Amino acid sequence: MTLDLSHRVAIITGAGAGLGREHALLLARLGARVVVNDLGSDVHGRGSATGAAQQVVDEIVAAGGQAMAHGASVTDYEQVQAMVGEAVARWGRVDILVNNAGILRDKTFAKMSLEDFRAVLDVHLMGAVHCTKAVWDLMREQHYGRIVLTTSSSGLYGNFGQSNYGAAKMALVGLMQTLALEGEKHGIRVNCLAPSAATRMLEGLLPQQALRALSPAAVSPAVGALVGEDAPTRMILCAGAGSFEAAHVTLTRGIHLGAGADVAHILARRLGEVADRRGEMVPDAGATQIRVELAHAGLDRVEAGHE
């Protein structure tokens, strides 16, 4: 199987540098026409300039590809709508959306202001919501779409000093789970990418040898795999230093204790059994948890509204 995006139009946010830039260059090499979106702010979300996005466009065009720059802020839905409109006016469609834009405002939760918490949520979570909402109906109408949401190990597993970032990144996993279900019958596939890469966000935190191994270019093939014709859906694909893994939200077999005055005391003693991962599963939807719990209670044949 080869990846051919020659008939596809892609929007990549935060594509003026780092991961986004590499995503844009790769998708252009695969034939996609690319909207290089970048507000041009620093890692903390301050300032704006369109020069970085235009430089990436110039690289793509110089290599024989097609691209356009756009400085829409992902926090402003009207700007995002305008960006999508310009892409459609120029190329007739939007097939691929890679939500990559992000900022950092790291502090321990005790020292973090609510303003800094909201700012990170606004860019990572609501920015992805704005961009996805702006292309959703278009993708439904054309019965085709590929959407990538950028999550993080900080959201999946936690990271000291990143409660805002981790909350936003895990929220994107929840968004992906539902959008994948809702988009399936419309030909829209939605996945998450959890990258490990040496970007501006990691400067000064790792030795040079590690930073070289964690090149953003080593992550971008994961994006290619998530936006092709045969892309999966509802996958959390981890990538870094040329390695690729899948993360899952699982449900253990658990135990049934019923109802009663002593259940809290019994459960506290038996939490180790609840956490036992032997035989765990990956639910196909949130309702699966309910079905499992009813089955434990001997009610697996009971349907809603019928007994």
Domain 9-247: give its CATH code. 3.40.50.720
Question: For position 198, what pLDDT does the model report?
Answer: 80
What is the C-alpha separation between 175 and 163, in angstroms, rounded?
18
* Region class of 64: left (phi > 0), else alpha (psi between -120 and 50), else beta: left
What are 263-272's pLDDT values in tens digits? 999 999 999 9
Q: Is 144 a catalytic residue?
A: no
pTM: 0.93
What are the domain boundaries of the chain?
Answer: 9-247, 250-307
Catalytic residue of the set 77, 144, 157, 165: 165
What integer is the mean pLDDT of 116-134? 98
Phi, psi of 36 (to 5 degrees): -95, 100
What are 286-296's pLDDT values in tens digits? 999 999 999 99
Q: Which residue has the higher pLDDT, 199 or 252?
A: 252
What are 148-168's pLDDT values in tens digits? 999 999 999 999 999 999 999
Question: For position 305, what pLDDT does the model report?
Answer: 43
What are 211-229's pLDDT values in tens digits? 889 999 999 999 999 999 9
Q: Which residue has the higher pLDDT, 243 or 203?
A: 243
